[in-house]
Amino acid sequence: MRVYIAGPDIFRPDASIWAETVRALLARHGQQALIPIDGDELTASGIYHANLEMIRSADVVLANLNAFRGHEPDSGTCFEVGFATAQGKPVIGYLSDGRVQKDKVSDADGLRVENFGLPLNLMLALACRIVIGDLGTAVAELSTLAFPSGRASSPLPMCLLIAPANSHPYTEARDSGNTRSPGAGQS
């Protein structure tokens, strides 16, 4: 199975060594790693198109969704997850901090933080099967899935956690006592 590895790990100072470790890990599980740094492209446009082609050719995507340069996952990785999802590719996202997003993020400007009981923004958490751990954990999760003829053919079951009925999915940063339930007041 061809596995695209999405994440900011390609920016590590030891990215080449990291990539070899990833290739070896996946090979031990009978998988082929597709890693963005494997391409020959040097321009932004070339890298973009090469990465999209790698995702198209992949059977599944493993995405590092840990916070990168702030409180949220790498924006490029988020795009790759969305692109893979739009292509009908299964995505397994991994992160080390499984706390719900509202417990990890606050907004000093008074903007709301969603509260669906998910560890990430709902647009990522529902697009991926989320595992708490590292790449090895995601690879282990991948190895438990059954794909027809060894190929992925449909999206994986998604992370689906529902916010408590007595809370609104968007809690205000300064007032977490909002008691509207999801969908309240909608017709």
What architecture is domain 2-172? 3-Layer(aba) Sandwich (3.40)
The predicted-structure confidence for 60-97, as pLDDT tens digits, reads as follows 999 999 999 988 999 999 999 999 999 999 999 999 99
Task: State yes or no: pLDDT of 58 exceeds 90.
Answer: yes
Which residue type, as a one-letter code, is found at position 6? A
Strands 91-95 and 32-34: unpaired
Question: What is the DSSP code (8-state) at residue 181?
Answer: P
To the question of pTM greater than 0.75 for the whole model, the response is yes
CA distance 61 to 128: 9
The predicted-structure confidence for 103-132, as pLDDT tens digits, reads as follows 887 776 777 888 888 999 999 999 999 999
> How do the domains of the chain map onto residue ranges?
2-172
Residues ≥6 apart with Cβ < 8 Å to 59: 1, 2, 3, 89, 90, 147, 151, 152
* Residue scoring higher pLDDT (71 or 5): 5
